[in-house]
Amino acid sequence: MARHSPSSLLTWLLFLLHGQFPPANQPYRTSYHFQPLQNWMNDPNGPMIYKGIYHLFYQYNPYGAVWSANIVWAHSTSTDLINWIPHSHAIYPSQPSDINGCWSGSATILPGGEPLILYTGINQKNQEVQNLAMPKNLSDPYLVEWTKSAKNPLMAPDNTDNINASSFRDPTTAWLGPDGKWRVIIGSEIGSSGMAVLYWSKDFIQWTKAQHSLHSAEDTGMWECPDFYPVSGTGADGLDTSTIGPGVKHVLKVSLFDTKHDHYIVGTYDIVKDVFIPDKGSEEYKSWLRYDYGKYYASKTFFDGAKNRRVLWAWINESTDATIDVKKGWSGIQGIPRQIWLDRSGKQLVQWPVEEIEKLRMNQVDLPGRLLKGGSMVEVSGVTAAQADVEIEFEIPELEKADFLDPNWSDPQAICRQKGAPVRGGFGPFGLLVLASKDLQEHTSVFFRVFRHHDKNKFAVLMCSDQSRSSLLLDYDKTTFGAFVDVDPTREKLSLRSLIDHSIVESFGAGGKACISARVYPSLAVDGNAHLYAFNNGTQSVRVSKLRAWSMKKAQINYANERANY
């Protein structure tokens, strides 16, 4: 029988008896993921860098741990994307065009360096309209105060188009064409077709709706939080959002309201026709890829000119229901910001936690390379397993005995669900057991399986995150996630990195070609009672060529200090 430490037992007793976590003992607060001190947070808004300071705004309910329509833009700044200082709310309902809520939007840096924000306001008639906000004082690098255009709203659905006033939101960062016109897209739907409504402007104030959309797709429903940006065909460097030209591809990302998943399409931007053309094979919604095959929504990128990279933010929601969120007094975190670039194949994106996160690493532990026999595991001790960064690499020299891939298996998540960590295959499952209790009653398993295609000497690599045994006491959504990873196991090692932070496991397969984020709420594997293992539950041995882990320091996130300005 598992043993609770006295403190975790007390936490659970208080929670069960009084329906509340004691304020000083919050087992699910994260230590290095961005979150406000309390209350509800959802989408990242207007991320940018201005005068060397990173800004993150976010959808925030100042009054409670659940979403509310009259939401505001809360604001924090950082010099390293890891430690954050809170500021007063930047944008909040104050004029007829946003009196019922200030919803998501984006920042654009004008050629002279001035940042502007376009955001969705919910007006006095509860319609979605687009508004402009600008900094009050450009010499303040923290951009604490914002003012709104007297001309708001700048864009509103009118009767001449079919756009419904409740499906017209989330303006992107604008981009400037060689003709001197700004372009911006707004998420929408007509019938069941999702759509990126395109607007043009010469001065950022007068906006004209184009007769055509930048792109649309049947049966995808409402497109929330679109994002549209160029990527280099030749490396990991990021590009300013207005970049076009040879060697540049474009990415359109949409957050599908119906499925709550972020999908992206790689393609070409035709600046003359002002349309986005998906690459061959990516036309159909079913072929669109996802940034993350776990929980990851309403994401937004920005170009970080200081480090020449494109950085991705996203909201990672709780897996608990609202009653639990209310009891713990908060809901929602942001994923660790990721650098994002086009893979050498040109077919997909690659994501990797920004390098700054490595500043938090301490107590490095290296396990010598070893053969991990089928049915064995090894503990990674010496790190704080509830707050850790771990990297592991597997080699499979001989794949003769790989199981065949059933040609009917096209849905990776369904395979992961059917074949959870206890189901033994030939090669796999092998990977990491994280947030595990000593007796393994509780654990989350992140692992690979390798299959052989029937007709060819080709292999398919599946990556899974199985949450089904992640908690004994708390009931929540423990859906198993899965993705195919585009990697050839006969030529490359299979690498896995997991960022573990109390109630989140963010995993990166094959150097960031497939990512899975999961929320888990263990009752035993809490703080010092959490363990970390490498495991192989396949019948065949695999070689672990690298196993390196670090404890992670706590980041300074949103603690009020002398700059705080509530």
Residues marked as catalytic: 43
From the CB of 197, what's the least distance to ligand DQQ, in Å? 14
Which three-class secondary structure state does DSSP give residue 531? Answer: strand
Q: Phi/psi at 171 (nearest 5 deg)?
A: -60, 145
- Tell me the residue number closest to ligand DQQ, measured at CB: 103
From the CB of 66, what's the least distance to ligand DQQ, in Å? 12
Reference 146, options 178, 125, 111, 116; nearest CA is: 116
Residues 60-119 that bind ligand DQQ (CB under 6 A): 71, 103-104
**How far is Cα 332 from Cα 558, in angstroms, rounded to an integer?**
14
Query: Which phi-psi region, left, alpha or beta, contains residue 52 (left: φ > 0; alpha: ψ -120 to 50)?
Result: left
From the CB of 43, what's the least distance to ligand DQQ, in Å? 5
Looking at the Cβ atoms of 222 and 487, the one nearer to ligand DQQ is 222
**How far is Cα 55 from Cα 77, in angstroms, rounded to an integer?**
5
Residues 333-362 that bind ligand DQQ (CB under 6 A): none
From the CB of 445, what's the least distance to ligand DQQ, in Å? 29
**How far is Cα 427 from Cα 450, in angstroms, rounded to an integer?**
6
Question: x-or-dash pattern for ligand DQQ, window 158-177, by CB under 6 A?
Answer: -----------xx-------
Neighbours of 492 (CB within 10 A): 13
Residues 423-442 that bind ligand DQQ (CB under 6 A): none
Query: Which phi-psi region, left, alpha or beta, contains residue 204 (left: φ > 0; alpha: ψ -120 to 50)?
Result: left
Question: x-or-dash pattern for ligand DQQ, window 279-298, by CB under 6 A?
Answer: -------------------x
Question: x-or-dash pattern for ligand DQQ, window 38-67, by CB under 6 A?
Answer: ----xx---------------x--------
Q: Give the pair of three-digit tokens for residue 105.
A: 């939007």
Looking at the Cβ atoms of 330 and 533, the one nearer to ligand DQQ is 330
Q: Give yes or no for a cis peptide into 429 (omega within 30° of 0).
A: yes
From the CB of 296, what's the least distance to ligand DQQ, in Å? 12
Name residues whose C-beta falls within 8 Å of residue 489's C-beta, 6 or more positions apart in sequence: 396, 399, 450, 459, 461
Residues 217-236 that bind ligand DQQ (CB under 6 A): 224-225
Looking at the Cβ atoms of 21 and 199, the one nearer to ligand DQQ is 199
From the CB of 539, what's the least distance to ligand DQQ, in Å? 44
From the CB of 162, what's the least distance to ligand DQQ, in Å? 19
Neighbours of 74 (CB within 10 A): 24
**How far is Cα 520 from Cα 467, in angstroms, rounded to an integer?**
7
Looking at the Cβ atoms of 121 and 425, the one nearer to ligand DQQ is 121
**How far is Cα 541 from Cα 168, in angstroms, rounded to an integer?**
54
Looking at the Cβ atoms of 225 and 350, the one nearer to ligand DQQ is 225
Looking at the Cβ atoms of 103 and 303, the one nearer to ligand DQQ is 103
Question: x-or-dash pattern for ligand DQQ, window 360-379, by CB under 6 A?
Answer: --------------------
How many positions of this chain bind ligand DQQ (CB under 6 A)? Answer: 12
**How far is Cα 238 from Cα 230, in angstroms, rounded to an integer?**
8
From the CB of 105, what's the least distance to ligand DQQ, in Å? 8
Q: Is the separation of the CB atoms in 315 and 43 below 8 Å?
A: yes
Side-chain-facing half-sphere of 92: CA atoms under 13 Å:
10
From the CB of 61, what's the least distance to ligand DQQ, in Å? 9
Q: Is the separation of the CB atoms in 67 and 58 below 8 Å?
A: no
Length of the chain: 566
Tell me the CA end-to-end span of the chain in Å, nearest whole number. Answer: 47
CA 286 to chain centre: 20
Cβ-based burial of 136 (10 A; exposed 0-12, middle 13-18, buried ≥19): exposed
Q: Is the separation of the CB atoms in 120 and 89 below 8 Å?
A: no
**How far is Cα 371 from Cα 424, in angstroms, rounded to an integer?**
18
From the CB of 180, what's the least distance to ligand DQQ, in Å? 29
Reference 555, options 317, 353, 292; nearest CA is: 353
Which three-class secondary structure state does DSSP give residue 492? Answer: coil
Contact between 471 and ligand DQQ by CB under 6 A: the answer reads no
Looking at the Cβ atoms of 71 and 324, the one nearer to ligand DQQ is 71
State the Rg of the chain over Cα.
24
Where along the sequence are the contacts to ligand DQQ (CB under 6 A)? 42-43, 59, 71, 103-104, 120, 169-170, 224-225, 298
